[in-house]
Each structure stands twice: as structure tokens, then as C-alpha cells.
Amino acid sequence: MSDAAAPRLLRRLGPFDATMLVMGGIVGAGIFVNPAEVARAVQAPWLIVGAWVLGGVVAMAGALVYAELAVRRPETGGQYAYLRDAWGPIPAFLYGWSLLLVIQSGGMAAVAITFSRYFLELARWPVAESLVAALVLAILTAVNCIGVKAGSNVQSALMLLKILAIVALVLAGLAFAPAAGTAARPPEAPLGLLAAMTPVMFAYGGWQTTSFIAGEMRDPRRDLSRGVLLGVAGVVLLYCAVAFVCVHALGPAGLAAAKTPASDVMRAALGPRGGTLIALGIAVSTLGFLSQSMLTTPRVYFAMAQDRLFFPVFARIGRRSAVPVFAIALQGAAAIVIAVSGTYGQILNYVVSVDFIFFGLTGAALFAFRARGIGEGGLFRVPGHPFTTGFFVAACWLVVAATVWSHWRDSLVGFAILACGLPACFYWMRRRG
């Protein structure tokens, strides 16, 4: 078969797809739960909301950095390609290794279980949570194997429903929930804000995954950079509004004591019907996150296989679908195994410390690209560089330090899984010659 006749990735995605994918990669179930985690670390209302504002500033700095990286290296694999071109194959391989074993598969398994819990609460079916989680992961795997546009259309529709659910939560909480009183507060812990940033940054993470499918965008230099900036800005507004309404309706003490703060706000605003509505909204939100992850992350394994750092089968593209079907199936299978095994809860504790190491390395890649003149003459440059980029890199590694400080045992396990990727990386590098 000639190269011209071989199946290849098709450029079918536009700016709206990119924006919805960015927002879908960030907004999952975290924003409905994590405001309570923040309130347990800091008690002052302005600090609870301020943590989300500060996280939004870091996320916007990251969006600016990733927008310029997307302009300079508009390749399939996104963050994997940035790491490879800046620092070589070893950090890039370890990033893909971590995605498959820790970051993405564990996160998808946990979110799939969250979806199944809310779905079963609404449907009241006598079915095991793990079975529903495995089924929904299998369905989304099949949808994304049909083609990139089919997967993107499903993801965009779910993202619009997610936005409606969050807006409904904010408006109902402000309009109908009585304002909570503010009780006397104990002195703030000196490192409380630092501890609060771990759940905040976990909730903000995910905008980078859209870069994985740059090779399937019609104009990645323009559309991906705009999608990242617009998508992250939209999520920052939504998240800060949710944090504010939670403090308004529950108060700092009530928010800290809440297990499901979004449900508590809606019950205070609309009674039992509000709890049902937000359960439906959370189910849709988790489903949208799963759809986005299944669409984007397999492109990293595809890029690794193209670089001959992974099994060649994962570089194959379906003749009719024009998508890496084996890589998509691998991601679906890994998430299903973790969801059924019940180890997703432990894996989630490892995610932040590992994920933000690679965020920091990716931000630092912009320094390397500019120094080497890689991709010069692009349509976008980070305003305030090197200070903006340096702030993002420092913030990422500060989050890693805070996570290690507060959850050092879980962080050590995450680092051990990361280190286990080194022998595998050396094996593939030797095979590649």
C-alpha cells in the first residue's frame, strides 16, 4: 500500500470543538465536591473564594503558555510532543506511562464510578456500580472508535449541558438559598492556603488534554490556542461563581462539614427536587469528562507508537474511522480494569504530585523552544514572558511540594510508579536503536 493510500488522521475539528474540549477536560465532578475540601483548609470566606481565584490565575497563566506551545508545535500528542522536543524521549515517555497507569486511567475510573453512583441513585436499578462504570466506559470507547467528529459532537453536547447545570446551581443558590450566618472563626493556619491549593489545582487540571488532538484540527495554530484561552477563562468564571455561592448558602463551617456541597446548596434552594436536579447535573458532568478523556488521551499512545517508543499496533489508524482505534481501545480497557478492581481511589491520591511535575516541565519547555528558535513566527506569544511562564512553572512545582508535604505516602507511591517507567523506556529506546 502506498503512503498516499494509507489511512491517516483527518483534520475535522474547529474552534468551537477546541473550546468545548478544553472546558470538558477540566470540568468533571471536582467542582461539585472540592469547595468543601478547600473550606476544611481555610475558614475565612474571602480565602475560600480567593483560593479558587488564585487557582484560576495559575490556570490562565498555564493557558497562555500552552497556547504559545500549541502555535509552535501543532502536533498530535500535544504535551507529549512538547516534552519530547524540549527535553528528549525519556520525560515524554514517562508522561505517557503516567497517563496510562496513573493520571488519566485512574481519574477516568474514579469519575466513571461517580457517574454510576449518581445514575443509580436516579434510576434505582439493582446493579453493581462497577458494572455501570464499565458499561459507560465501553460505550464511550465505541463512540470514539467511530470517528473524531462523532466523539467531538457527543463531548460538545455534554459540555453545554454541564454549563447549564453549573449556571443553574449558581442562580438557584443566589436567588433561593438563604444566606448563611458567619460564626466566629479560629485563626487561619499559616500553611492552610497552600494545602487548599491541592484540591483547587486538581479541579482546574485538564486543559492540556485538548493539545493531544492538534493533528485533527483544521487550523491547530489558531484554533487550539484560542480554544485553550477561551475554555480556561470560561471555567475560571464558573468555578469562582460556584465557590462563592457555596460560601453564601452554607457558610464556611457548613461548607467544611458538607460531603456533597453542591447537593446541599440545591436542597437549601429548591428542596428535595433541587437535590435530584443537581444529581442529574453531576451525572451529566462526569459523563462529559469521560467522553473528553476518551477522545483526547489515546492520541498520546498513538504518538508514542509513531516514535517507536510503544507497541506498533497503537499507531494504526482505522481505514473508515481515521482514528487510532487500538489506542482508544487501550485507554478504555485500562480505565475499565481499574474501575472494576476498585483501586481507583488509591490511584487518585497519586495523581496531583505526578501530574504537576509534568505541567512544570511543559511550562519550562517554552524557555527551551524560545532559546532554540523552535516554531518562531507564530500567531501568539505569551504576554509578560519570561515572568508569566516562570510564575506558572513555579506554581506547578509549589503544588507538587504542597501535595508531598500533606500526602507524602501517596506521593511516594506515585513517584514509584513513575520510576518503574524508566526500565520500560530504556527497553523501547534500545529496540528503536
- Which CATH number covers residue 65? 1.20.1740.10
289/207 Cα distance (integer angstroms):
11
Q: Count the domains in the chain.
A: 1
Cell of 180: 448563611
Q: How far apart are CA 277 and CA 24, in angstroms?
A: 20
Task: Record the cell numbers describing residue 432, joined without a space.
Answer: 528503536
| Domain assignment of residue 139, yes or no | yes
Tell me whether residue 83 is in a domain.
yes
The pLDDT of residue 2 is 47
In a domain, 91, yes or no: yes
Instruction: Flag whether 411 is in a domain.
Output: yes
Residue 414 lies in a domain: yes
Query: In this structure, is residue 305 part of a structural domain?
Result: yes
Quick one: pLDDT at residue 378? 67
The CA-atom distances, in angstroms, between 344 and each of 2, 106, 107, 133, 339 are: 44, 5, 7, 12, 6
Per the DSSP assignment, residues forming a β-bridge with 76 are 213
In a domain, 6, yes or no: no
Q: What is the dihedral of CA 171, 34, 417, 98, to 10 degrees?
A: 10
This prediction's pTM: 0.86
* Contacts with 63 (C-beta within 8 Å, 6 or more apart), sequence order: 207, 228, 229, 231, 232, 233
Task: Confirm whether 3 is domain-assigned.
Answer: no
- pLDDT, residue 1, reads 45
Q: What pLDDT was estimated at residue 71?
A: 84
pLDDT by position in tens, the chain (length 433): 445 556 677 777 888 888 888 898 888 878 888 898 898 888 888 899 999 999 999 999 988 898 889 888 888 788 999 999 999 999 999 999 999 988 888 888 888 888 888 888 888 888 888 899 999 999 999 988 887 777 788 888 888 999 999 999 999 999 998 887 665 555 555 567 777 887 888 788 887 788 888 888 888 878 888 888 899 999 999 999 999 999 999 999 899 988 889 889 999 999 989 988 998 988 888 888 898 899 889 999 999 999 999 999 999 998 888 889 999 999 999 999 988 887 666 666 677 778 889 999 999 999 999 999 888 776 788 999 999 999 999 988 888 887 788 777 878 888 898 999 999 999 999 988 7
- 217 DSSP 8-state letter: B
Which domain does 406 fall in, by range? 15-377+384-432
